[in-house]
Amino acid sequence: MKDITLGQYYPSDSFTHKMDARVKLVLVVAFIVAVFLAKNFLSYIAVAACVICATLVSRIPISKMLKSIKAIIMILIFTGILNLMFYNGETVYWSWWRFNVSLEGIIFSVKMVLRLVLLVMGTTLLTFTTTPTGITDGMESLMSPLKYIKVPVHDIAVIMSIALRFIPILSEEVDKIMMAQKARGASFDTGGLVSRAKALLPILIPLFVSAFRRADELALALDARCYNATPNRTRYQVMKFGWRDLAGVIGTAVFIVLVVALNNNFWGAYQSVEAAWWLFAV
């Protein structure tokens, strides 16, 4: 049987892997806010330091991290070029029709790209260090206050958990159906776009039929296991806020404070160091 690893979870036993999924979710949100708070290169350096520290304690190989960047390379190029061309700067180096390349534009697009890179690296750390089940459980727990405004938090969590459980099963099924269709002479990789799309139809229909059949049986199985028997459902998986989580929160808080602090020129301190002033001012 195929072993399909869902998402990008990288199994390890590191500090971050052992952290509470809820805390990691909150910290990722805080991190995103911090990235958007950063204004100058000094605060970007602080954010980058945060990402580097987090990567180190997660023991995720650098190559893995770079791969996550590779996935968005087109977006990066696009963002970079568009910002470069359309920014209305003063020091114009090159101009043609509506396009202006200026010093300010270069600096701005570098910042934009840097922001995206840091954003993706920071957030993929979550999916690298947390299993999809862990993320689901964490989200359920974080959303639990919504119960009081009648949001069916638990049902949503069960739906997510079932979806995660069935992705590998259905993907295996797609393989089987494709093989069955190939055995009958179907071809999926020849012809133009339209004929290829049409060739997918004989896969989708059996897939949907079987998915509905599975859903039917699963519904019975849920009933057999007394799903919804009592509103006072208990939880087997308990999440604990441990020392690692406290350390993570403090660490992230330090970096956020640093980012905010570096956004300001306290008492003109930066002017005294030329390089720092340049990083701050541009």
Partner 1 sequence: MDENARVSNEVVIKADGVDFSYRSGEYVSRGVTGINLEVRRGEFLVILGRNGSGKSTLAKLLNGFLIPDEGIVTVMGTDTADENKIYEVRSKVGMVFQNPDNQMVASVVENDVAFGPENLGIPRAEIEERVTEALETVGMSEYRKGSPNKLSGGQKQRIAIAAILAMRPDVVILDESTAMLDPKGRREIMDTVMNLNREKGMTVVLITHYMDEAIEADRIFVMNDGKITASGAPKDVFLNYDKVKAAGLELPVASKVSKALIEAGYDLPFAITDEELAKSICRLKQKI
Rounded to a whole number, what is the distance in angstroms from the first to the last CA of the chain?
A: 56
- 94 - beta bridge partners? 101
Tell me the residue type at 93.
Y
91 binds partner 1 per the rule CB under 8 A = no
Residue in 87, 91, 86, 88 with CA at minimum distance from that of residue 103: 91
Tell me the residue type at 66.
L
Tell me the residue type at 132.
P
The stretch near partner 1 (CB under 8 A) out of 66-74, 100-108, 154-162, 267-275 is 154-162
Residue in 162, 163, 174 with CA at minimum distance from that of residue 210: 174
What is the nearest approach in angstroms of partner 1 to the Cβ of residue 10? Answer: 16
Tell me the residue type at 162.
I
Nearer Cβ to partner 1 (169/180): 169
13 binds partner 1 per the rule CB under 8 A = no
Out of 164, 174, 186, 200, the residue judged to bind partner 1 by CB under 8 A: 164
Q: Specify the 3-state DSSP secondary structure of 51.
A: helix
Nearer Cβ to partner 1 (17/262): 17
CB half-sphere exposure, 281, CA atoms < 13 A: 12
Do the beta carbons of residue 99 and residue 88 sit within 8 Å? no
What is the nearest approach in angstroms of partner 1 to the Cβ of residue 165? Answer: 5
3 binds partner 1 per the rule CB under 8 A = yes
φ, ψ at 99 (rounded to 5°): -90, 130
144 binds partner 1 per the rule CB under 8 A = no
209 binds partner 1 per the rule CB under 8 A = no
11 binds partner 1 per the rule CB under 8 A = no
- Residues 216-245 touching partner 1, rule: CB under 8 A, are 217-218, 220-230, 232-238
- Residues 109-138 touching partner 1, rule: CB under 8 A, are 131-133
168 binds partner 1 per the rule CB under 8 A = yes
Which residues are near partner 1 by CB under 8 A? 1, 3-4, 6, 131-133, 158, 161-162, 164-165, 168-169, 214, 217-218, 220-230, 232-238
